């Protein structure tokens, strides 16, 4: 009886290789969608728009988080060395805290829909982000390989991201906890802002794929304004300084829109999303606190603009994933 030997099965090398290059920066998709959910929730409160859109986007953000976390968890299990190298990379390491920021934004977006779950998520996100902050700052202080060309606005994410904690923290924890995180984010925003501007003014331009990260400059003053007014209980001179700084940066980027339109799509393009959403929420908050109609109109325009940008980013991301362009070695 003749028999044909059976070749041993081989693993799907293409799948394994792709998974090894799954970028942690994809957690910024959660930040963008959750931020848009917050913008629509604020629009429902200030402008009287439908609240169902904000609820639906909050649910979508949770689903996207589960999908991205599932893939990244598989990467941690199968390609620990690749994940560890990513966490030590002078540029990519700053996107790792997007995980904890995504959790914090989900907690904020779900605050009224599912307060008990949101409270638990907020505690997890705040604790995790504090760990990321301590780890990242330790790496910065004791580094042996960072150069000025490694610096880009993504460096705001690990430390200045603390300013997001008070958004839901004012509901879920004593005020002093929120002031603690707010103080970290605010002080180091000022420090890093000066360093980043020095790098942009006096050194080579950012790499093309990092150009969208310039929009991250919008986030700290925008989120800072919303967090500060929540902590202080109203609009004052310092709150105005934060908001108008964000508004000026928004105008600066709008005046350079053609430069950003010419940049090809990279995963880093999601850096447009959350900062725009943050400016939108800040503008609607300004409309609520100041009572000025101009901010209502600007807020409405920003909601629609941010929605369009995130919808386009979502479509481009799906297309890139189908083409196998997301999980590639750089």
Report whether pLDDT(9) > 50: no
Q: Tell whether the model's pLDDT for residue 3 goes beyond 80.
A: no
Band of residue 144 on the pLDDT scale cut at 50, 70, 90? confident
State the average pLDDT for the chain. 91
d(CA 268, CA 252): 20
Residue among 199, 188, 93 at smallest CA distance from 152: 199
Which residue in 255, 242, 237 sits closest to 283, CA to CA? Answer: 242
- Token pair listed for 262: 């010419």
Mean pLDDT within 284-293: 97
Please say whether the beta carbons of 280 and 299 come within 8 A. Answer: yes
Supply 121's token pair.
């998520």
What's the rounded mean pLDDT across residues 195-221?
Answer: 93
pLDDT at site 283? 98
| 325 has a pLDDT exceeding 70 | yes
Give the residue, 324 or 10, on which the prediction is more confident: 324
pLDDT 10s digits, 230-262:
999 999 999 999 999 999 999 999 999 999 999
Q: At what angle do helices 52-78 and 80-88 cross, to 10 degrees?
A: 110
pLDDT at residue 10 is higher than 50: no
Neighbours of 30 (CB within 10 A): 29
Residue 272 near residue 313 (C-beta atoms within 8 A) = yes
Mean pLDDT of 213-238: 96
What's the pLDDT score for residue 17?
53
Q: Which of 276, 277, 300 is nearest to 288 (CA)?
A: 300
> Which pLDDT does position 6 carry in this prediction?
41
Radius of gyration of the chain from its Cα atoms, rounded to whole angstroms:
21
- What is the maximum span of the chain, computed from C-alpha positions, in angstroms? 92
pLDDT confidence bin for 272, thresholds 50/70/90: very high
pLDDT at 36: 98
Q: What is this structure's pTM?
A: 0.92
Burial of 188 (0-12, 13-18, 19+ CB in 10 A): buried
Q: What distances in angstroms separate CA 235 from CA 38, 59, 150, 242, one per listed residue?
A: 20, 31, 37, 11
Going from the N-terminus, what domains does the chain have, and what CATH number goes with each?
A: 22-138+147-322 (1.50.10.150)
Token pair belonging to 269: 């393009």
DSSP class of residue 264? P
Which of 217, 216, 212, 284 minimizes the C-alpha distance to 245? 217
Residues counted in the chain: 330
Contact between 35 and 278 under an 8 Å Cβ cutoff? The reply is yes
């Amino acid at each position: 009886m003749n028999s044909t030997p059976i070749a041993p099965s081989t693993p799907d090398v293409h799948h394994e290789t792709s998974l090894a290059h799954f970028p942690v920066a994809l957690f910024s998709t959660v930040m963008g969608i959750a931020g848009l959910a917050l913008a629509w929730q604020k629009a429902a409160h200030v402008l009287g728009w439908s609240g169902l859109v904000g609820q639906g986007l909050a649910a979508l953000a949770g689903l996207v988080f589960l999908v991205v976390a599932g893939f990244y968890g598989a990467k941690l299990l199968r390609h620990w060395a690749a994940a560890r190298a990513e966490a030590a990379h002078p540029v990519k390491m700053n996107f790792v805290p997007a995980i904890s920021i995504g959790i914090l934004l989900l907690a904020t977006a779900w605050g009224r829909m599912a307060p008990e779950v949101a409270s638990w998520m907020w505690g997890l996100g705040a604790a995790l982000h504090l760990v990321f902050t301590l780890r990242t700052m330790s790496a910065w202080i004791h580094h042996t390989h960072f150069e000025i060309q490694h610096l880009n606005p993504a460096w705001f994410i690990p430390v200045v991201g603390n300013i997001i904690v008070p958004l839901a923290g004012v509901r879920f924890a004593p005020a002093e906890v929120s002031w603690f995180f707010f103080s970290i984010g605010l002080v180091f925003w000022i420090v890093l802002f000066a360093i980043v501007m020095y790098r942009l003014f006096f050194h080579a331009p950012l790499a093309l794929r990092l150009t969208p990260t310039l929009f991250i400059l919008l986030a700290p003053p925008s989120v800072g304004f919303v967090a500060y007014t929540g902590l202080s209980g109203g609009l004052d001179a310092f709150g105005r300084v934060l908001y108008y700084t964000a508004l000026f940066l928004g105008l600066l980027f709008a005046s350079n829109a053609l430069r950003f339109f010419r940049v090809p799509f990279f995963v880093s393009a999601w850096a447009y999303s959350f900062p725009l959403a943050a400016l939108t929420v800040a503008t609607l908050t300004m409309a609520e606190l100041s009572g000025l109609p101009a901010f209502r109109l600007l807020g409405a325009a920003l909601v629609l603009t941010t929605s369009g940008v995130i919808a386009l980013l979502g479509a481009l991301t799906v297309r890139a994933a189908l083409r196998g362009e997301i999980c590639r070695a750089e």
